[in-house]
Amino acid sequence: MMLARLLRPKHVASAHCDLPCGVYDPAQARIEAESVKAIMEKYAANEDPVFRARALTIKEERAELVKHHLWVLWTDYFKPPHLEQYPQLHQLFWDATKLAGAAGAKGTVDVAKAEDLLGKIDEISKIFWETKAA
């Protein structure tokens, strides 16, 4: 009992994210999504099969990075109080990661899908910056 009491923390701290603020930013997902869109546009403008194969590989890698950056925000930055304040967050992240995945950016060269993805990232970014200002 005495040892447990001695080892118990004297102060309990809590934070809304895993590290001090400043390490999370939806811009990372946006940069990768912009790359996906640009690759799709270049793919459409080029008939060279070697170029197109390389473009698809790079586009899929970038789309995977979009998903990664979105999931980091969703799982590490946003917490239950954010979801209470912004109940659309779950659906927004669901839609965005689906648009980055096989049903969207990874599975198509349709620029409209990339534009939809960028729109979702913009919505997430708006909420993110509102929570950072609070």
For 96-110, how does the pLDDT look when each residue is reduced to its tens digit (9 = 90+)? 999 999 989 999 999
Task: State the total domains in the chain.
Answer: 1
- Domain membership of residue 2 (yes or no) is no
- Domain membership of residue 5 (yes or no) is no
Residue type, position 88, single letter: Q
- Domain membership of residue 10 (yes or no) is no
Q: Give the side-chain half-sphere CA count within 13 A for 6.
A: 3
- Domain membership of residue 114 (yes or no) is yes
- State the CATH number of the domain containing residue 50: 1.20.120.400
Band (pLDDT 50/70/90 cuts) for residue 47 is very high
- Domain membership of residue 19 (yes or no) is no
Q: How far is CA 15 from the centre of its chain?
A: 21
Query: What secondary structure does DSSP assign to 43-76, as a single string?
Result: HHT---HHHHHHHHHHHHHHHHHHHHHHHHIIII
Mapped onto helix, strand or coil, the DSSP state of residue 40 is: helix
Residue range(s) defining the domain that contains residue 129: 25-133
For 1-44, how does the pLDDT look when each residue is reduced to its tens digit (9 = 90+)? 677 776 777 766 555 555 555 578 999 999 999 999 999 999 99
- Domain membership of residue 68 (yes or no) is yes
pTM: 0.84
The average pLDDT across 58-84 equals 95
